[in-house]
Structure 1
Amino acid sequence: MNESPTDTSASSSADGLSDRFTGTLRPFLKFQGDEPLTPGSNLRTLGLDSMQAIELLFAIKDTFEVTLPEEAMNDTTFATAGNLWQEVRQALTAQHTGAATDPAGA
């Protein structure tokens, strides 16, 4: 099955995080090891620093074809895997909804 960038439900694991999201995130977490990522996984504790967070944003953009809004660029967003995934999902939903309802975008 092909996943579109706006299909946030496809290949979701039982914990609610997308498999594509965890696959994108995992390379930036040098202390993660083989443990599963959960929504409560603390990204800083797992090794995500500010420089890697910038690289992660580019990876998210490439993987999901979405850019997070400027107001999402804060410590709370990058505190846990669940917080970051929530922002990605919201950006995907906004992009999908905006494209469908914005007559200027046609």
Structure 2
Amino acid sequence: MVNSAAKLDSIFHALSDPTRRSILRAVSTRERTVGEIARPYRVSLAAVSKHLKVLESANLIHREKRGSFQVVRLNAQALKTAEEWLSYYEQFWNRRLDALQTYFEGEKK
């Protein structure tokens, strides 16, 4: 349980930053070099590297050295841990959405 909780904490910590979420979105479409990842951000390459380390420690990305480049790709399987945790709470927002739908259907009549 502790290992699972630590893994979940690491994932949510990594996802808590908008730059890291943006990086994940970018590498979800295709693998990219660190330079390609850094290009759209107004931060140093060192700052992007720190973000990548956080994502890597949460196992959300894989980095691989290819020649003089580091290539980064998404590890979507790691997101499954967060999805499984969140799926428990889905019942609560589904109930509210169902109630909202019932309300609007009643308003139409």
TM-score past 0.5 threshold: no
TM-score (norm 1): 0.30
TM-score (norm 2): 0.30
**Which of these two proteins has the greater Rg computed from alpha carbons?**
2
> Which is richer in strand?
2
